[in-house]
Chains A and B, each alone.
Chain A
Amino acid sequence: MSGLIWGAIYGLAAGMVISLAAFIGVWGERKIAGRIQLRYGPQELGPFGLLQTGADTLKLLLKEDITPAAVDVRIFRVAPLIVFAPAAMSLAVIPYAYGFAPIDTGVGVLFFVAVPAISVVGVLLAGWSSRNTYATLGGLRAAAQMISYELPRTLSVLPVVLLAGSMRPLDIMDAWQWWWIPLTFIGFIVYFIASLAEINRVPFDLPEAEAELVAGPFADYSGIRWAIFAMAEYGGLVAASLFGAAVFFGGYLGVPGALGVIVFVLKALVIALLMLWVSWTFPRMRPDQLMATAWKVLTPMALIQLVLVGAVISWL
């Protein structure tokens, strides 16, 4: 019984963490975008531009939740939740503090890379149920992209699993050595790029592509349901940077207690900022370039990294 209660509490906590992360993320993103692209609005309103995000949140929550007449109503309504749930689930296996992960399982790493696969179904259904050519096209693009980038993403974390000899995140944290950073750096680059693609952020946001596909699968969504999609994106960003900081940069570095958590979160923050920086600097890719990057660049890079680590391990 206690397991079920803990599960419910965890689910609630994860939902709240993601909402908060989305709030901070939107604020940080607009600040950074404002600095990079000389946008004034979000920097001026209130102290540090904080009020702008508050106003936007209020606007989103109070907006009418429009359901167009032609959509497949039930699937249309449930699709945002199918996209959101995996983002919350993937936060569960991350080792936050010394010896603590909400769900401590021997297949944590595999779980983390496998769970986003569920959100592909949600995006496809959102695009399909909208009964709208742009939305369907966007959904198809998203599915093709997310499935393709799952492979390099999974391969990129394998070297660390190989070095630690375990897929349990806490074991990886215990086994972690500083020289893994230079050794698995190619893997981290592949992980970073593939994660950006997995959560559909610029320069990989061609499913959304507001200039050509009028926001793709999200075209017909408004108000809170649209906000759930946006929150899932920030949830994915948070999960990807936390997991990257844990697996590739040693997480809490064996420091017990609150100090370790701070070290861990700071590292994740650097990765998240790097992701935002990339988003506001590079232009959107073309679909064929996107696919070519996944199959002809990232996958071979990940395989080379795997062979490299395999060769080093035999020397240890």
Chain B
Amino acid sequence: MSVESAVFTVLGIVAVAGGLATVFAADVSRMAIGLGAFLLAVAGFFVYWGATFLGVAQLFVYVGGVLVLMLFAIMLVHRTPDGSPRLETRHDVSAVAVAGGLFVMVVTALSGVVPDTVDHGLVTGTTELAEALLGPMLAHFEMAGVLLLVALVVVVVIMRGGDER
């Protein structure tokens, strides 16, 4: 086994183990560690494929932002006297159905797009990425931004609505 495939295998194992820990751990702080491992492994995948910028952005936004936000939320919930709050879900079947559906959707959408082998011609440097984002891809970039903004506004509206009712 070459070093490259060994690195890839280790990243894959960490990602899968982290994902499983996120789903199956009953203790929320262990769940967060699993999610952190998964997100770091995904960042590792990006770097592995040569997309360093994406890898560092993943680290910045997901590990530094999303994960910390979730840990924050966990810490603000009520803690049982014997230890950490335990997570009891009542939506096992529907959650599996949604996750499975999403998986099938992503696989079918990407199966024709992602090449089977590494094509280093696809991977561009930071300058090229910036030029693409602010040039031909500007509309897509802005649309994604607007979508996120709309999601944010929706959350605010939902939260406020809860107060008034």
- Are A and B subunits of one complex? yes
Mark A residues whose CB is within 8 Å of B. 1, 3-4, 72, 75, 105-107, 110-111, 113-118, 120-121, 124-125, 127-129, 131, 136, 139-140, 143-144, 147, 150, 166-168
In the bound complex, do residue B64 and residue A114 qualify as a contact, i.e. CB atoms below 8 Å apart?
yes
Among residues 80 to 139 in chain B, which have CB atoms less than 8 Å away from a CB atom of chain A? 83-84, 125-127
Mark B residues whose CB is within 8 Å of A. 3, 27, 29-30, 32-33, 36, 52-53, 56-57, 59-60, 63-65, 67-68, 71-72, 74-75, 83-84, 125-127
5 sample A-B contacts, Cβ–Cβ < 8 Å, listed by A number = A75-B29, A107-B53, A116-B64, A128-B29, A131-B83
Given contacts A110-B56, A110-B57, A128-B74, 6 further A-B contacts (CB under 8 A): A117-B63, A117-B64, A117-B65, A121-B68, A124-B75, A125-B32
Question: Which residues of A have CB within 8 Å of B125?
Answer: 106
In the bound complex, do residue A128 and residue B75 qualify as a contact, i.e. CB atoms below 8 Å apart?
yes
In the bound complex, do residue A114 and residue B59 qualify as a contact, i.e. CB atoms below 8 Å apart?
yes
In the bound complex, do residue B68 and residue A120 qualify as a contact, i.e. CB atoms below 8 Å apart?
yes
Please tell me which one of the listed residues A72, A117, A131, A167 contacts residue B68 in the complex, with CB atoms under 8 A apart: A117
- Once A114-B56, A128-B29 are accepted as A-B contacts, the answer to whether A143 and B72 lie under 8 Å apart by CB is yes
In the bound complex, do residue A129 and residue B3 qualify as a contact, i.e. CB atoms below 8 Å apart?
no
Kindly provide the distance from the CB of B155 to the nearest chain A CB, expressed in whole angstroms: 18
In the bound complex, do residue A147 and residue B65 qualify as a contact, i.e. CB atoms below 8 Å apart?
yes
Distance of A167 Cα from B64 Cα, bound (Å): 20
In the bound complex, do residue B29 and residue A118 qualify as a contact, i.e. CB atoms below 8 Å apart?
no
**Chain B at the A interface: SS class:** helix
Distance of A167 Cα from B83 Cα, bound (Å): 45
In the bound complex, do residue B71 and residue A106 qualify as a contact, i.e. CB atoms below 8 Å apart?
no
In the bound complex, do residue B3 and residue A3 qualify as a contact, i.e. CB atoms below 8 Å apart?
yes
Distance of A139 Cα from B76 Cα, bound (Å): 12
In the bound complex, do residue A120 and residue B64 qualify as a contact, i.e. CB atoms below 8 Å apart?
yes
In the bound complex, do residue B71 and residue A128 qualify as a contact, i.e. CB atoms below 8 Å apart?
yes
Question: Which residues of B have CB within 8 Å of A131?
Answer: 83
In the bound complex, do residue A110 and residue B29 qualify as a contact, i.e. CB atoms below 8 Å apart?
no
Q: Which partner residue on chain B sits nearest A150 by CB separation?
A: B64
In the bound complex, do residue A106 and residue B30 qualify as a contact, i.e. CB atoms below 8 Å apart?
no
Please tell me which one of the listed residues B3, B30, B53 contacts residue A1 in the complex, with CB atoms under 8 A apart: B3
In the bound complex, do residue A72 and residue B63 qualify as a contact, i.e. CB atoms below 8 Å apart?
no
Q: Which partner residue on chain B sits nearest A117 by CB separation?
A: B64
Please tell me which one of the listed residues B33, B56, B68 contacts residue A147 in the complex, with CB atoms under 8 A apart: B68
In the bound complex, do residue B72 and residue A140 qualify as a contact, i.e. CB atoms below 8 Å apart?
yes
Distance of A173 Cα from B162 Cα, bound (Å): 54
Q: Which partner residue on chain A sits nearest B54 by CB separation?
A: A107
Name, among A4, A128, A139, the residue most crowded by chain B CB atoms within 10 Å (CB to CB): A128
In the bound complex, do residue B59 and residue A118 qualify as a contact, i.e. CB atoms below 8 Å apart?
yes
In the bound complex, do residue A107 and residue B52 qualify as a contact, i.e. CB atoms below 8 Å apart?
yes
In the bound complex, do residue B126 and residue A143 qualify as a contact, i.e. CB atoms below 8 Å apart?
no
Kindly provide the distance from the CB of A189 to the nearest chain B CB, expressed in whole angstroms: 23
Kindly provide the distance from the CB of A121 to the nearest chain B CB, expressed in whole angstroms: 6
Kindly provide the distance from the CB of A80 to the nearest chain B CB, expressed in whole angstroms: 14
Distance of A143 Cα from B60 Cα, bound (Å): 14
Q: Which partner residue on chain A sits nearest B84 by CB separation?
A: A72
Please tell me which one of the listed residues A114, A124, A140, A144 contacts residue B60 in the complex, with CB atoms under 8 A apart: A114
Question: Which residues of B have CB within 8 Å of A127?
Answer: 75
Please tell me which one of the listed residues B53, B59, B63 contacts residue A106 in the complex, with CB atoms under 8 A apart: B53
Question: Which residues of B have CB within 8 Å of A136?
Answer: 75
Please tell me which one of the listed residues B3, B56, B64, B71 contacts residue A125 in the complex, with CB atoms under 8 A apart: B71
Distance of A243 Cα from B72 Cα, bound (Å): 29
Question: Which residues of B have CB within 8 Å of A4?
Answer: 3
Q: Which partner residue on chain B sits nearest A139 by CB separation?
A: B75
Distance of A166 Cα from B36 Cα, bound (Å): 30
Kindly provide the distance from the CB of A67 to the nearest chain B CB, expressed in whole angstroms: 15
Question: Which residues of A have CB within 8 Å of B32?
Answer: 121, 125
